[in-house]
Amino acid sequence: MIEKKIEKIINEFNQFEDWEDKYAHLIKRGKSLPEMQEALKTEDNKVKGCQSQVWMSAILNDDHTLSFVADSDAMIVKGIVSMLVEVYSGEKPEVIISHKPEFIKEIGLDEHLSPSRTNGLFSMIKQIKYYATAYQALLSKSF
């Protein structure tokens, strides 16, 4: 399941030759990110290590998968977080924890972000894995 979502994103970005178009696509993705409730934009949900403001929250679904919601005050960052939400939502904690986000390199994002945005990207991934680890621990206690 996660592989199909990643393949879709890679194909999206492969449509564009230059990075100006890819940035425009990231911004477009960010605009289509589902709205995050203002009540969730708390200090606890703020992703540490991002230059921009980024909020992220996760819920455990009945089928033991996670769903993520996120937002940012910066359009490119909002596009980046929209990709992460798309890739990791609907996945079980163990899949999220073990997954290496190689797709970031495959689309060339790691080479075309400023150092501070790259740090922010990895902070967002770290936060997603943190949620997955916490929910995995919760699930293992409930069985």
Instruction: Report pLDDT for 137.
Output: 93
Instruction: Report pLDDT for 143.
Output: 54
DSSP per position, the chain: -HHHHHHHHHHHHHT-SSHHHHHHHHHHHHHTSPPPPGGG-SSTTBPTT-SS-EEEEEEE-TTS-EEEEEEESSHHHHHHHHHHHHHHTTB-HHHHHH---THHHHTTGGGSS-HHHHHHHHHHHHHHHHHHHHHHHHHHH--
Q: Give the HSE-up count for residue 26: Cα atoms under 13 Å, Cβ half-sphere.
A: 22
Q: How far apart are CA 141 and CA 143, in angstroms?
A: 6
Instruction: Report pLDDT for 24.
Output: 95
Q: Which residues are catalytic, by number?
A: 50
For the whole model, what pTM was predicted? Answer: 0.93
Q: How far apart are CA 2 and CA 41, in angstroms?
A: 27
Task: Write out the chain's pLDDT in tens, 143 residues.
Answer: 899 999 999 999 999 999 999 999 999 999 999 999 999 999 999 999 888 999 999 999 999 999 999 999 999 999 999 999 999 999 999 999 999 999 999 999 988 988 888 899 999 999 999 999 999 999 888 65
Domain residue spans in the chain?
2-141
The fold of 2-141 is: Sufe protein. Chain: A (3.90.1010)
